[in-house]
Amino acid sequence: MKKYNPNNERIKREYFAFLKEAKRQSENAVDAAAMAIARFETDTKLRDFKAFHFEQAVAFKHRLASGKLSKATLNSTLAHLKRFFQWLALQPGYRSRLSYPDAEYFNLSEKDSRIATARRQCAVPTLEQIKHVLAKCRAWLAALGW
């Protein structure tokens, strides 16, 4: 069994250079995109990107959702793939085989997107709790002779 697809590796290398140099993405952002693309390639058994069909995106999305990943992870993985395939659809050699709207199949449902991007409220201490901690610190410092 082969471990990589040479055509995919060439185009991924171009895309990562595009992210880093043209889009000014950090190494961490490029690594996250690489991980998302690697997940997709593993799922499709290293099938050439030129043979992409929107049904692959739908099947990948459903398999990914059936795993134990959070909605935020699903959202970011699919967003990386969507941006990659949108970029890919504009590249020579891929324009005739991929259409720009095919990348839209990487979207989560609206409900899942809202869940993934929801802001969670952080628990903050009350004023009474802060005063209690400060009083304990004062008592502890006094016991040490400070």
- Let me know if residue 21 belongs to a domain: yes
Our count of domains for the chain comes to 1
Confidence grade of residue 1 (pLDDT, cut at 50, 70, 90): low
Return the amino acid letter for 23.
Answer: K
* Percent over 90 (pLDDT), the chain: 90
Average pLDDT, rounded, for the chain? 94
Domain of residue 30, CATH code: 1.10.150
Helix, strand, coil share of the chain (percent; to 5): 70, 0, 30
92: domain range?
Answer: 6-120
Choose among 94, 6, 104, 100: nearest CA to 50: 94
State the average pLDDT over residues 79-101.
95
Mean pLDDT of 18-32: 97
Q: pLDDT tens digits for 95-110?
A: 999 999 999 999 999 9
Between CA 98 and CA 79 the distance in angstroms is 17
